[in-house]
Amino acid sequence: MLEAAFSGRKPPIAKVIKISFDRVVVEKVEKDHREKVQQSREDFVRRFTPKVSFNLVEKEIIRAWNDSEFIRRLERTRGDETRNFPMKPVDYDAEFINWLRRCIKEIGRSKVLDEMDQYFRVCVSGEHVWDKVNHGFKNLRGFLNKLLILRKNKSRGWWNTFQAPAQIKDSTPKVTHAIADIFAQRFNKRKAFPLTNPSRDYKIFLKFKSKLDSMGTIHGKPEKYLKAANMIFDALESHFTEDIISPGNLISPYTWGIILPKYLKERG
């Protein structure tokens, strides 16, 4: 082979075929290996990804935990914190789904979110740790299970023994309640929205009112707030034709960046 290279002669055809065959074999082995690795990854994802489809309210509660400022901050700098982890695909099993849906049905979406807010307020100040023991929950699973136990025992969570937050400042509370009531009539089939101050929902409707202000057509007039709010409700209703619409959708970047512009464009 070496002589053939120096003499300018071509190597025997049998050797060329053997070299080509060896290369094909190696490439096939490498390809098979890559495919097996990819398949194992796909199997892993498939095994730990929930097969259930969460509705908007269920997603809102999951995101309220995973996307809370407290949880996100811990993911950046966890320090000594041994609890309060975000949910992972492996956590979405049948037991969790049952607890989540029972909490929504038996306790109510608003109450669950308010309890979560108060829990995080206590955790932020570090008051979930006493006597050198972290009394927080590993993740949303434990929190929801605890809420169901508290409801059954007709008792309150330890996070509710701390000082209650102050009321949220609102220059036009009647307008805020009026918007919330229209929302309830359109999407909850109720005459009024059970809006309390302070609460997570009050913050949402207050922020929604601020977003309506930013449209530049309100000028502080109550009737224009209600007209603009109904327009947003129309846009949401046209987009989410078969899903539950929650207050969180009112301030979602997706609503204001995608749904509303599309709705306005379709209507000229």
The answer on 156 and 82 residing in a single domain is: yes
Q: Which of 58-62, 123-127, 180-184, 222-226 is the least confident region? A: 123-127
Would 235 be classed as within a structural domain? yes
Quick one: 142 and 203 in the same domain? Answer: no
User: Does residue 82 form part of some domain?
Assistant: yes
Q: Which of 105, 130, 161 is the last residue of a domain?
A: 161
Q: Is 97 in contact with 52 (CB distance < 8 Å)?
A: yes
Q: 20 with 70, same domain? A: no
Based on the domain organization, do 60 and 156 belong to the same domain? yes
pLDDT at 112 > cutoff 80: yes
By the 8 A CB rule, do 231 and 223 touch?
no
**Domain contains 90:** yes
- Residue 166 in domain: no
Same domain, residue pair 35 and 107:
no
pLDDT band at 104 (very low <50, low <70, confident <90, very high): very high
Domain presence at residue 167: no
Say whether both 206 and 251 belong to one domain. yes
Shared domain for 246 and 179, answered yes or no, is yes
57 burial level (CB within 10 Å; 0-12, 13-18, 19+): buried
CA 226 to CA 229: how far, in whole Å? Answer: 5
Is residue 200, in this structure, part of any structural domain at all? yes
**Residue type for position 182:** I
Q: Report which of 202, 262, 234 is spatially closest to residue 226, judged by C-alpha positions.
A: 234
Q: Of 2-6, 118-122, 251-255, where does mean pLDDT reach its minimum?
A: 2-6
Q: Is 62 helix (H, G, I), strand (E, B) or coil?
A: helix
Residues 224, 197 share a domain = yes
pLDDT score recorded for residue 27: 65
Do 179 and 153 share a domain, yes or no? no
Hey, which of 5-9, 174-178, 220-224 has the most confident mean pLDDT?
174-178
Whether 168 is in a domain gets the answer no
**Predicted local distance difference test score (pLDDT) of residue 35:** 62
108: in domain: yes
Average pLDDT over residues 239-264: 91
Query: Which pLDDT score, from 0 to 100, does residue 107 have?
Result: 97
Q: What is the pLDDT of residues 23-41, one digit of tens each?
A: 655 566 666 656 665 555 4
Closest alpha carbon to 87 in 71, 76, 101:
71
Residue 21 or residue 148, greater confidence? 148
List pLDDT tens digits, range 181-217: 999 999 988 888 888 888 888 999 999 999 999 887 7
More confident residue, 5 or 15: 15
Does 22 share its domain with 92?
no
Domain with 86 in it? 56-161
Q: Are residues 105 and 60 in the same domain?
A: yes
pLDDT of residue 14: 55
User: For residue 161, what pLDDT is reported?
Assistant: 86
Reported confidence tier of residue 47, pLDDT bands at 50, 70, 90: very low
- The residue out of 161, 196, 227 marking a domain boundary is 161
Domain count, the chain: 3
